[in-house]
Every structure is written in C-alpha cells, then in structure tokens.
Amino acid sequence: MNILITGGAGFLGARLARALLAAGSFTLRGAAPRRIEQVVLADRGPAPADLLADPRVRSVQGDLIELVQQRALPAAGTDAVFHLAAAVSGECEADFELGMRSNLDTTRALLEACRALGTSPVFVFASSLAVFGQAPGQPPLGTMHDDTLPTPQGSYGIQKFICEQLVADYTRKGFVAGRSVRPMTVVVRPGRPNGAASGFFSGMIREPLAGERARVPVPPETPVALASPSRTIEGFVRAATASDAEWGPRTAINLPSLSTTVGDMAAALERVAGKEATSLLDWENDPAIEKLVRSWPGSVAWDRARGLGLQADPDFASIVRDYVAENRSAVRLSVG
C-alpha cells in the first residue's frame, strides 16, 4: 500500500505518519489489511529525521500545488491521500490570495490529480470546525451537528467548506473515495506559535509550562471545542478504514470534541502545574481574535464519529498531562 500525506512534515502529518508506520499494515474502506510499502510526506520543508530514517518514507519538498501541477504528486499506485496541508485561519484573513491558492486551488488540483490516476484512491480531507460560524445579527450558535448547515464567517472556513463540497462531488462521480472530517481545535501543539487565530489555545499551556509568559486574547468565559493530537489522529485513521456502509453519507463528519472554556483550560493548567503556571498568563483582550474565535461553535455534537467507535478526551487536564509526558524537554515547571 502506498500513502500520500500532504503537510507530512508538520506536527499532525508527522504524527499520522508515525502511527501508520508503527502499525505496518493498513485497512482501506473496510477491506483486508495490506502491508504499507511507502508513505510519501509532501511539505515545504523536510520530514523529521526519525521518519527520514525509515526506508518506507519518501520526503517530497516544495510548493504543493506546483508539485501536483508538475505531476510529481500523487504518484501512480497511490492508494490513499491524507490531505492535511493548508494555510491557517489567521493567514487566510490577512492574505486572501494566499488562502485561496493554498486551500481552494491546491485542493482542487490535488483532487484532479487523483482523478487522473483512474483508481479512485481514498481521499481523507482535513476540513475544520471553522466551517461553522456565528453570523452577525443572528441568534447565538447552539450545538453544531454533523448535518448542521455551515455558515463560515472567515475566509479559512469558507475555503474549507467549499473543499468539503468538492470532495463530496468527486466522490459522487467515483473519482475518489472521499472522507471529509472536521477536527476540533487541536491542543496542545508543541513548538513555536503558527499563524492560526486559535494558536493561543496551545500557547497558553505550552509557554507557561516552559516558564514563559503567554498572552490570552479572549475572556475566560469564551467557549471552545477541543481535541488532543492523539484523538485527532485516531479520527483521520478511522475515516480511511471505515467501510462505505460505516461511513454513510458523503458529507463531512465532526470529529469528537471536548467542550470547555478558556477559563477552565487555565484552571486545568493550574491543577497540573500550580499557580506558578497560571501566573504567567497575560489576559489581554484582542478584539479581532475574539471576534473570529467567538464566531466558532463551543458545542459540537459528533454522532457519526461516535458510530465509528471514536471517543472524545475525558477532560482538559488529561490533555495537559499527555503533553507533559510527550514533551518533557520542553517543560520547565514542576508538574503534579
């Protein structure tokens, strides 16, 4: 079996690759498991050293849409594509052309390249919770279900929703076996901040644990739907392995979510690392970030994901502890 992961050098892409390689074999659409022969990691930068050391891994560097247009990707014989690469929310609001090219144009080009293979590969598309949004002058968002009509309020969410529909139509025509999933806000991401408006959700945990100050640009009562990296990867994998009957309609599914508030996230951080950690949080409101974040739902139902056997994280403190266990070298504070 040959698998392509776009954004494969990134945090989630590399984590997905490690999970697939560790398993050694993989099931697509409910069929019998097959041995994984190659995982192609496509990204602007090189894949992590541990993945490059695996003979089954091939790293392809460059601009994704250019690689696709040059027919360097996907290679003949590709059985599954996990399309994770994207420009993030803050970038898309700041640079409209960047978002359209990186998200909409690239996804369309990749779908066309998969169509040209003539083999209907599995196509797992990482959409976003940002397809849901609080429209100005409308009643507050309630709980978002799998079949709730998306009303995105930012360029990123609009681009993701358009791509969901493209994946559905390419699936209807038999060009790919599309599976669109909507991950929650993934916390805690290691490393440095990215351009996502949601980046502070990780930063308010990661930086204090490293003994650094972190800005929280929204009020404590701000609701948020979260998931750990582990739960998110489980969702990507299950989307590919589910049979057509298990998957159901061609429309996107919401991945499992933990509904909480920013204040409760800070309280969980304090339970794990004490007041020394929360004393490093600077609560400084940013109206632009708050407007965008508050347009996203804080309550998300995930009935279809539950039907696939997926589960949400039990609580936010467990997510913080998982981060600490996986990133000991980045934690400077004493944790309990």
Return the CATH class of domain 2-185+228-254. alpha beta
Model confidence at 195, pLDDT cuts 50, 70, 90, reads: low
User: What does pTM read for this prediction?
Assistant: 0.94
Q: What is the pLDDT of residue 85?
A: 97
CA contacts within 13 A on the Cβ side of 109: 20
CATH code assigned to 197-224+258-299+314-330: 3.90.25.10
Q: Which residue in the block uniquely carries the two structure tokens 């696939």?
A: 308
For the chain, the domains span 2-185+228-254, 197-224+258-299+314-330
Contact 236, 181 (CB under 8 A): yes
* 156 labelled catalytic: yes
Measured distance CA(324)–CA(318) in Å, rounded: 10
Q: What are phi and psi of 283, to 5 degrees?
A: -85, 90
Please tell me which residue in 26, 123, 156, 296 is annotated as part of the active site: 156
Q: Quick check: bond before 140 cis, omega within 30?
A: no
Q: Same CATH fold, 197-224+258-299+314-330 and 2-185+228-254? A: no
pLDDT tens column, 62-120: 999 999 999 999 999 999 999 999 998 889 999 999 999 999 999 999 999 999 999 99
Q: Which residue in the block uniquely carries the two structure tokens 């994207």?
A: 86
Model confidence at 141, pLDDT cuts 50, 70, 90, reads: confident
203: its two tokens = 């930063």
Indicate the residue type of 67: L
Q: What is the pLDDT of residue 139?
A: 81
User: Starting from the edge strand earliest in sequence, which strands make up the sheet with 185-186, in order?
Assistant: 185-186, 223-227, 258-261
84: its two tokens = 């994770």
What are all long-range contacts of 52-55, with beta carbons under 8 Å and residues at least 24 apart? 54/21
